[in-house]
Amino acid sequence: MQDIIPLPWGAQDRFQAHFIVKGNVNQSDDSFLAESKPKTQCHFGSKKVVGKIANILNADNELADMIKKLSYHDAYIWVDPTKSGVRIHGKWKSNHELGVSKELFAVYDRIASHIKNNLC
């Protein structure tokens, strides 16, 4: 839900849950960049992951089915390298919306296992 009168400055009540996979990753290495892009067509929608690690993630049919079951808002997932690992996160949420469902956590955990297997 969007604020009726947004504040133009200062702290905002928007949050993200970040999941970090520790490992030696070059921050400029784009092989660990990925983004899920939900696309809707008619009543049904498809949610595909795009990026270089996408081939690994898209090959996992069980992960694809898990992402398809997420809500449209939760299906936006980003994977990007940091100084000390790889970060997995979703969209910004207000303090009322913030939470990680069991289904979303399972998706993050499965993505993290693929990343962990490909770090070495």
Average pLDDT for 90-109: 89
Which tokens in the block code for residue 17?
A: 């849950």
Instruction: Give the pLDDT confidence score for residue 107 in this predicted structure.
Output: 94
Average pLDDT for 56-82: 88
Q: What is the DSSP letter of 75?
A: T
Round to whole Å and give the CA distance between 44 and 31. 30
112 vs 46 pLDDT, higher one: 112
pLDDT band at 6 (very low <50, low <70, confident <90, very high): low
- CA torsion sign for 104, 110, 111, 115 is positive
